[in-house]
Amino acid sequence: MWILEHVICPIMRILALLIIVSLIYPNLSPDTTVADYWSVLVHEQNFNHAINILFFGSLLLAFIPFAGHPVFALPLQGCLSIALVFNWQYSTVLERAPQFIPPTTDLMKIVLYLITAYFATSKSSVLLSRWIDKKLVISGSIRLVSDSIYLVLQIPVILMYCAFLGKQL
């Protein structure tokens, strides 16, 4: 069970994250498509590199206070995956090296959103999981419920990050 919880589930979460990010990636510019995202990822060893970077990045985030919590870690991983693909796709096209850290105002908006999402999900996921446990006569749905909420709540952060990167094109 250890390998399931510490290796297989995180890799499955990363694959789900890549699918969600691929749907958001076209927000970079009108010329960018979902197919562009996947073609960049499958080019050479980019997919393997992305999986390895995101997997080991998630391990490293566990050692940073608060950053290891899924409400913070998943958006960070989502932004990292977009930054990787953006770099692989556009680094040779741009006149100067791309910037990957947003300006302070954008960064503060993202942090404020993440803190709000954290407090909103900490209460709502407990209530929703209790309701699901009661209706389905099961126990322990809290992890599935909270991870599902975190996956949905990361979308605005990734959209904000895409807008920042898209301004560089």
Q: pLDDT band at residue 2, thresholds of 50, 70 and 90?
A: confident
DSSP 27: G
C-alpha–C-alpha distance, residues 151 and 15, integer Å: 12
pLDDT at 23: 92
Which is nearest to 83 in space by CA: 25, 155, 10? 25
Q: pLDDT band at residue 119, thresholds of 50, 70 and 90?
A: confident
Mark out the alpha helices in the chain (DSSP H runs): 2-3, 9-24, 34-42, 46-61, 70-90, 104-136, 142-153, 155-166
The model's pLDDT over 140-161, given as tens digits with 9 standing for 90+, comes to 878 778 878 887 888 999 999 9
Instruction: Give the count of beta carbons closer than 10 Å to the beta carbon of residue 40.
Output: 20
Distances (CA, A) of 72 to 23, 93, 112, 125: 20, 31, 11, 15
H or E stretch including 33? none
Q: pLDDT band at residue 71, thresholds of 50, 70 and 90?
A: confident
Enumerate residues 6+ apart whose C-beta is below 8 A from 66: 72
C-alpha–C-alpha distance, residues 53 and 120, integer Å: 29
DSSP 26: G
Per cent of the chain over pLDDT 90 is 35
Angle separating helix axes 155-166 and 104-136, nearest 10 degrees:
160
Whether pLDDT at 164 is above 90: yes
Q: What is the mean pLDDT of the chain?
A: 87
pTM: 0.84
Structure tokens that stand for 73 in this block: 């870690």
